[in-house]
Amino acid sequence: MEAQLPNQPRRLYRSRSDRLIGGVCGGLGRHFGVDPVIVRVAAVVLLLFGGASALAYLAFLLLVPEEPADGAAPPPPSDRTRTATIVAIVALVLIGGPILLFLGLTVAAIALPVAVFVLTGLVVWYLVSGEGPGGSAGDIVKRSVLGVGVLLACFAIFVAGFWAAGLGGGTVAAVTVIAAGAILVVSAFFGGFRLLILPALALALGVGFVSAADVDLHGGVGQREYKPASTADLRDHYRVGAGQLVVDLRNMQLPKGDTPLKMKVGVGDALLLVPRDVCVASKAKIGAGGIDFFDFNNGGLDVDFERRPQAQENGRRVVVDADVGMGAFEVRHNRRDRFDNRFHDEAQDRNGGCAGA
């Protein structure tokens, strides 16, 4: 390369010797004293986030001269060259910018999930086998796929433990947790069982959720909707293991005084619909989830809720006792979505049949 005069600014060139496409990254690395590999990695990252590096690379490829051959003098810049450079940059930004932005976002939408998939698989496989991400590309892909397979198997074990504990009660939950703990102890002291650590943790977590939220999955799976037309059709107890339980009393002529009702859901949603002139008193326990009681809503872990308003004179009151392991308990006058409270008239959400309402 030519010698630089003391007061002559250092010019940027595309590299002849260190190039994958046009020598842009190699030239930038040499110019700023940075490893070209770092420049290439940064270019790929920027490509995934909007395609900015593609636009910049194209501009450098068209406008930055190639490194002179050994002994050749660099061509002197002219005013015409500077004008053409400015015009080309403006054209690239105005025309190519939106196109490359769209292409970059499209590439990111495809590449980022793939990258997350690969990295997740590698991390999981490292945890269960101790093998790092080294080796050939084929080895990396193989370990990534095996890691994702282990993760899916752990999810299946989590669900199985969840259901077994929910259907079997405390005894099954205790035995399962003890077995999982024994596996972890053996793995820690004797080794050789590293592959079983994540499945054991998944099993313990599934059972732990059931125990912590007091989930009972008896009662079937799916949606159960009941619309009693008379007191003879009204049960005192409704339940579902997993799904949605709906008890609709809007078309029923409730008797004066108190009508007791129990609703129990293991995992899912318990919804009680009542006429506007009926008062509702409730005591509810939510292991993990939320409650929407007319104009009141709350959520979290181990939620205890109680409202005991009195009915108007000679009025009608439903006294509901609700138990939801994981999910939601709702009491309303209609079937609108519970998340649109801010768009609804609050006066329509009141417990209107109660004294003082």
Q: What is the DSSP string of 167-193?
A: HH-HHHHHHHHHHHHHHHHHHHHH-S-
DSSP state of 303: E
Please identify which residue in the block is written with the tokens 């590449």: 111
Residue 287's CB: how many other CB atoms inside 10 A? 22
Distance CA 13, CA 31 (A): 8
Q: Is the pLDDT of residue 339 over 60?
A: no
pLDDT tens digit sequence for 81-123: 556 656 666 665 666 566 666 666 676 667 667 777 778 888 8
In this predicted structure, the answer to whether residue 263 has a pLDDT above a threshold of 90 is yes
Q: How confident is the model at residue 282 (pLDDT cuts 50, 70, 90)?
A: very high
Task: Report how far residue 129's alpha carbon sits from residue 120's, in angstroms, rounded to the nearest whole number.
Answer: 14
Range of the domain at 291: 221-349
Residues 290 and 203 in one domain: no
pTM here is 0.54
Give the number of domains in the chain: 2
- The answer to the question of residue 204 being in a domain is yes
Evaluate if residue 332 carries a pLDDT over 80: yes
- Would you say residue 288 lies in a domain? yes
Same domain, 230 and 284: yes
Confirm whether 37 is domain-assigned. Answer: no
Looking at the structure, tell me whether residues 341 and 241 fall in a common domain. Answer: yes
Banded pLDDT at 191 (limits 50, 70, 90): low
Strand partners, 284: 305, 322
Q: Are residues 310 and 345 in the same domain?
A: yes
Q: Same structural domain for residues 326 and 225?
A: yes
- The continuous run of DSSP H or E covering 266 comes out as strand 257-273
Domain C-terminal end among 187, 213, 239:
213
Q: Are strands 237-248 and 316-332 parallel, antiparallel or unpaired?
A: unpaired
> Does one domain contain both 272 and 185?
no
With CA atoms as reference, report the closest residue to 309 among 239, 264, 356: 356
Query: Are 180 and 292 part of one and the same domain?
Result: no
Confidence of residue 1 (pLDDT cuts 50, 70, 90): very low
Same domain, yes or no, for 278 and 180?
A: no
Query: Does 154 score more than 80 pLDDT?
Result: yes
**Residue 271: pLDDT over 90:** yes
Among candidate residues 167, 185, 213, the one where a domain is terminated = 213
Confidence (pLDDT) at 3: 47
Return the residue matching tokens 């939220």: 213
- Model confidence at 2, in pLDDT bands (50, 70, 90)? very low
The helix, strand and coil proportions of the chain, stated in percent and rounded to the nearest 5, come to 45, 25, 30
Among 245, 185, 177, 262, smallest CA distance to 211 is for 177
Domain end: 158, 181, 213, which one?
213
Q: Which residue has the higher pLDDT, 83 or 25?
A: 25
Residue 40 lies in a domain: no
Same domain, 185 and 225: no
Provide the 8-state DSSP code for 217.
-
Task: Flag whether 42 is in a domain.
Answer: no
Average pLDDT in the 28-48 region? 77
Residues 286 and 179 grouped into a single domain: no
Between 53 and 242, residue with greater pLDDT: 242
Beta bridge partners of 323: 264, 285
Query: Rounded CA gap, 294 and 77, in Å?
Result: 76
C-beta of residue 311 within 8 angstroms of C-beta of residue 357: no
Indicate whether 154 and 255 sit together in one domain: no
Q: Is residue 277 domain-shared with residue 344, that is, in the same domain?
A: yes
276 assigned to some structural domain:
yes
